[in-house]
Structure 1
């Protein structure tokens, strides 16, 4: 669209047409100046709008870059989780009924007791290794010793049975043992 701004030819042409045209031309000057002022204001506003668009574009670029990093991290995590699920799915599927039963039948008190037991396991393990296992390793040698002790005890009993008066003493001890057993609940 052509602006109604007179050029040099228009001015010469207007001189030729006369004074009416000159008056119209002079009257158009304030309008032309007002149009130029409006154009300058529009240019300033357009420049400010372009600057704001640039700022928004730069901010959006920063967000896009950050989002891209988050998406990459999420992709890596999804790949890890997918691998783990693929690995453990068969076992978890088989264990599901057992886990459900365990969850349904275990009380918070039982869980607390189990946690307490687990907390004591290191000390318990140390005591078993230090005190009990050495005794258990000697049990293989204790059995023959006990057998020998039982034989000696039988022989001693036979010897004592041959001593005069021991038979009566033995019966009295047996009667007292029977009375104690009868009185016991």
Structure 2
């Protein structure tokens, strides 16, 4: 049986040469593909590292916010307990009172405070006047016969009643 033509030495040699020359090209293609995969993996690793760093920063900020909120909640707890004591009617009344504060403040500054200032100035004078009135009373009580006149006046008041 003769050898098939594909197995003849020139054909085998040609096949061997073609195969041998294609190996470096294929290895180079494989290396290029591997480098491309490594570059993509490096990029993925860098992006993943950035995502992790951003997530860690976010966690730190979230912890700070949570701590601040916890402080605020703790500070408002007494106010919440205080507010539980109010009825809806009382809350509405408080809102109306707060609405009136500007008008109340205006009247306080324009009407009441000037009167108080005047009273503070008049107060010492009234004190002096009361001392003088007390001195006059004692002087009148010291007049001879005044006790008799007073009893007589009290008797007339009883008759009128």
Q: TM-score range by the shorter chain?
A: 0.5 to 0.7
Aligned to 1:56: 47
Q: Whose relative contact order is higher, 1 or 2, with alpha carbons under 8 Å and at least 6 apart?
A: 1
Aligned to 1:28: 19
Aligned to 2:93: 101
What is the DSSP-based 3-state SS (H/G/I as helix, E as strand, rest coil) of the residue aligned with 1:43? helix
User: How far is 1:67 from its partner?
Assistant: 0.7
Specify whether residues 65 and 99 from structure 1 end up closer, same or farther in structure 2 by C-alpha distance, changes over 3 A only: same
Aligned to 2:152: none
The aligned length equals 127
Aligned to 1:142: 129
**In structure 2, how many angstroms separate the alpha carbons of the residues matched to 1:33 and 1:137?**
117
**In structure 2, how many angstroms separate the alpha carbons of the residues matched to 1:137 and 1:50?**
93
Stretch of structure 1 that moved more, 52-61 or 94-103: 94-103
Instruction: Supply the RMSD in Å over aligned alpha carbons.
Output: 3.6
Unaligned stretches of 5+ residues in structure 1: 1-16, 149-185
**In structure 1, how many angstroms separate the alpha carbons of the residues matched to 2:107 and 2:34?**
80
Specify whether residues 40 and 115 from structure 1 end up closer, same or farther in structure 2 by C-alpha distance, changes over 3 A only: farther
Aligned to 2:72: 81
Specify whether residues 143 and 88 from structure 1 end up closer, same or farther in structure 2 by C-alpha distance, changes over 3 A only: same
Unaligned stretches of 5+ residues in structure 2: 1-7, 137-161
Q: TM-score, normalised by structure 2?
A: 0.57
Specify whether residues 117 and 71 from structure 1 end up closer, same or farther in structure 2 by C-alpha distance, changes over 3 A only: farther
Specify whether residues 101 and 71 from structure 1 end up closer, same or farther in structure 2 by C-alpha distance, changes over 3 A only: same
